Structure 1
Amino acid sequence: MSLKKQYLKSKPVCKVTFLLDKEEALGAERVDLLGEFNNWNTAEPVIMKKLKNGSFKVVIDLPAEQEFQFKYLLDGEKWVNDANADKFVGSGLGAEENSVVTL
């Protein structure tokens, strides 16, 4: 897993690349990215593209100078965090944590 950030000079936006390695995808056929940036809407998730090597990747534009909680949803069933997130915070659902990207 990894997060790559590319800040735009022309506007307060950061292009964030979310990458979930094949091993961390646990054999999933589909991986969705959900978080505060899409109101955790499972009906309209950010669908990640499956790469030839079995990893999943997506690039989205997010407002700079903000933080967003997020998680990956594997095959609509299993939630996983990004081990390389900037930090982790409690989700408010028991012992669960969410990944956080800080821009």
Structure 2
Amino acid sequence: MAITKQYLKNKSICKVTFSLPAKEAQKVSVLGSFNEWSESDAVQLKKLKNGTFKGTVDLLKDHSYEFKYLVDGTFINDEQADAYKPNVFGGENAVINL
């Protein structure tokens, strides 16, 4: 798992790239506070030849966002998240700080 942040000069945007190795998975997306946890608005990650799913989203700098990966219908956290925050389901969400 990996999160890459690319801050754009003179803009309030950060390009965030999510990468998740999941060779056996069919579909991986990212849901979070940046898309109202909506599956229809989720960031769809594209499967690369090496089995890693990868996708990029533009997010506002100076904000924190909660998120989770949705892998074939199962939610998982990113092990390299900046932090974790308890959620209403008794688990926790990954957090990215920009």
RMSD, aligned CA: 1.0
- In 2, the alpha carbon distance for the partners of 1:5 and 1:86 equals 12
One-letter amino acid of the counterpart of residue 31, structure 1: V
- In 1, the alpha carbon distance for the partners of 2:56 and 2:41 equals 16
5+ long unaligned stretches in structure 1: none
Q: Does 1:97 align with 2:92?
A: yes
- Counterpart residue number, 2:80: 84
Q: Does 1:3 align with 2:8?
A: no
TM-score of the pair, normalised by structure 1: 0.90
Shift of 1:5: 0.6
TM-score of the pair, normalised by structure 2: 0.95
5+ long unaligned stretches in structure 2: none
Query: Among residues 27, 48, 53, which one is paired with 1:30 in the alignment?
Result: 27
- Number of residue pairs the alignment of both structures matches: 98
- Counterpart residue number, 2:19: 19
One-letter amino acid of the counterpart of residue 102, structure 1: N
Whose strand fraction is larger, Structure 1's or Structure 2's? Answer: 2
Query: Among residues 63, 66, 71, which one is paired with 1:69 in the alignment?
Result: 66
- In 1, the alpha carbon distance for the partners of 2:40 and 2:56 equals 19
Identity %, equivalent residues: 46
Runs (4+) of structure 1 exceeding 6 A deviation are none
